Amino acid sequence: MADDNPALFKSTHAGARPYAGCLYRRRSSCRLCTREELTKVFSLAPTPLANAFVREDAVHREQHLYPLDVFFCDGCGHLQLLDVVDPVALYEHYVYVSGTSPVFVRHFRDYANYVIDNFRPPAAGLVVDIASNDGTLLRFFKDAGHPILGVDPAREIASRAMASGIPTLVEFFSPELAGRIRREHGSASVVTANNVIAHVDDLESFMVGVRELLADDGVFVFEVSNLADVVENTLFDMIYHEHLDYHSVKPLMEFFARCGMELIEAICVESHGGSLRGVVQRKGGPRRIGASVAHALAREQELRLDRAETFQKFAAHIESIKLELVGLLRRLKSEGRSIAGFGAPAKTTTLMYHFGIEREMIDFIVDDSPLKQGHYTPGMHIPVVPAAHMYQHRPDYLLILAWNFAEPIMAKQAAFRDGGGRFIIPLPKIMVV
Q: What is the C-alpha separation between 276 and 227, in angstroms, rounded?
A: 8
- What pLDDT sits at residue 155? 86
> What's the CA gap between 6 and 255, in Å, rounded?
18
Among the listed residues 265, 224, 267, the one whose alpha carbon sits nearest the alpha carbon of residue 247: 224
Tell which residue, 202, 241, 225, 200, has the closest CA to residue 83. 241
Task: Please answer whether residues 103 and 131 qualify as being in contact, where contact means their C-beta atoms are separated by less than 8 angstroms.
Answer: no
CA torsion angle for 13, 19, 20, 23 (degrees, to 10)?
A: -20
Phi, psi of 208 (to 5 degrees): -60, -40
Q: Alpha-carbon distance 368 to 254, whole Å?
A: 40
Reduce the DSSP state of residue 402 to 3 states and report it: coil
- Mapping DSSP to helix (H, G, I), strand (E, B) and coil, where does residue 200 land? coil
Nearest to 30 by CA among 66, 5, 6, 13: 5
What is the number of other CB atoms lying within 10 angstroms of the CB of residue 98?
Answer: 18
Residue 290, pLDDT score: 97
Residue 362 near residue 340, CB atoms below 8 Å: yes
Closest CA to 228 of 243, 240, 241, 238: 238
pTM over 0.85: yes
Task: Tell whether omega for the bond before 428 is within 30 degrees of 0, i.e. cis.
Answer: yes
Q: Which CATH architecture has domain 1-307?
A: 3-Layer(aba) Sandwich (3.40)
Nearest to 430 by CA among 288, 299, 331: 331
255 close to 222: Cβ distance less than 8 angstroms: no
3-state secondary structure of 424: strand
Residue 24 is predicted with a pLDDT of 78
**Whole-number Å distance between alpha carbons of 430 and 211:** 44
* pLDDT given for residue 17 in this prediction: 41
pLDDT value for 103: 79
Cα distance between residue 71 and residue 82, in whole Å: 7
Task: Say if residue 122 is exposed, middle or buried (CB neighbours under 10 Å; 0-12, 13-18, 19+).
Answer: exposed
1-307 shares its CATH topology with 309-432: yes
Mean pLDDT for back-to-back runs of 10 residues, the chain (433 residues) = 31 36 80 96 95 91 91 98 83 54 87 97 96 94 97 89 95 95 97 93 95 97 95 93 95 97 95 88 96 98 97 96 96 97 94 93 94 93 96 96 92 94 94 94
Rounded Cα distance, 169 and 153, in Å: 8
349 close to 241: Cβ distance less than 8 angstroms: no
Q: What is the pLDDT of residue 360?
A: 92
The ranges assigned to domains in the chain are 1-307, 309-432
Cβ neighbours for 235, distance < 8 A, ≥ 6 positions apart = 225, 229, 272, 273, 274, 427, 428
CA distance 64 to 48: 6
- Give the C-alpha separation, 347 to 238, whole Å: 6
Could you please state the CATH topology (level 3) that the domain comprising 309-432 is classified under. Answer: Rossmann fold (3.40.50)
